[in-house]
Amino acid sequence: MTLLENPMRIHRSRLCCAAFVVVAVASTALGHVRISPRESASGATQKYTMTVPTERQSPTIRIEATFPASVIVLSFEAMPGWKIEEKKDSDGRIVGAVWSGGSIPFAESVDFSFEVKNPATAGRLEWKVIQIYQDGTRSEWTGPENSRTPGPVTTVK
């Protein structure tokens, strides 16, 4: 009996293909910290949202972000259960932030929002984010776009 003659074999093949697609899509959705929008206008005051997924069995318990030098961070949206510690330079300008005290379980994500003033000129905003898990491991989303650990990028036009 060939594959075409055996309906059970065809059904199993379709199920295997469907399961593969689901796993592939889920693994793509998980893992990388994202910042949206991916495009913004130069000189605009923009609300950005950082989406932090947990792709490991251990929950995410801390997020450390370094902001592009060309933006001016104006404010942070409070997240229930999370504390925000602002990192400032010697001039008092916010250059980074640490979110801690909360927890993001496996296969879930949390959105953290903040408002910035974009630079007046067009270019790329490269965000650096370190994700720390309860078991002490870290994911550093600080690499170039095509790396295994890309940092989020926003294009300013």
pLDDT of residue 145: 86
Sheet order of strands, 39-40 included: 39-40, 153-156, 123-126
Q: Helix (H, G, I), strand (E, B), or coil: what is residue 39?
A: strand
pLDDT of residue 30: 46
Does 26 score more than 90 pLDDT?
no
pLDDT of residue 8: 54
* Lowest mean per-residue pLDDT among 15-24, 104-113, 131-140: 15-24
C-alpha 155/C-alpha 149 separation (Å) is 19
pLDDT of residue 1: 56
User: Looking at the structure, do residues 26 and 40 belong to the same domain, yes or no?
Assistant: no
**Whole-number average pLDDT of the chain:** 87
Per residue in 95-133, pLDDT tens?
Answer: 999 999 999 999 999 999 999 999 999 999 999 999 999
CA distances 61 to 54, 76, 88, 124, Å, are 10, 18, 22, 29
Structure token pair of residue 84: 């925000």
Domain span at 18? 1-30
User: Looking at the structure, do residues 9 and 51 belong to the same domain, yes or no?
Assistant: no
User: Looking at the structure, do residues 17 and 39 belong to the same domain, yes or no?
Assistant: no
User: Looking at the structure, do residues 148 and 85 belong to the same domain, yes or no?
Assistant: yes
C-alpha 31/C-alpha 23 separation (Å) is 13
Band of pLDDT at residue 12, cut at 50, 70 and 90: low
User: Looking at the structure, do residues 7 and 47 belong to the same domain, yes or no?
Assistant: no
pLDDT of residue 7: 55
Q: Give the pLDDT mean for 25-30.
A: 39
Per residue in 37-64, pLDDT tens?
Answer: 999 999 999 999 999 999 999 999 999 9
User: Looking at the structure, do residues 23 and 36 belong to the same domain, yes or no?
Assistant: no
CATH value at residue 49: 2.60.40.2230
Does 13 score more than 60 pLDDT?
no
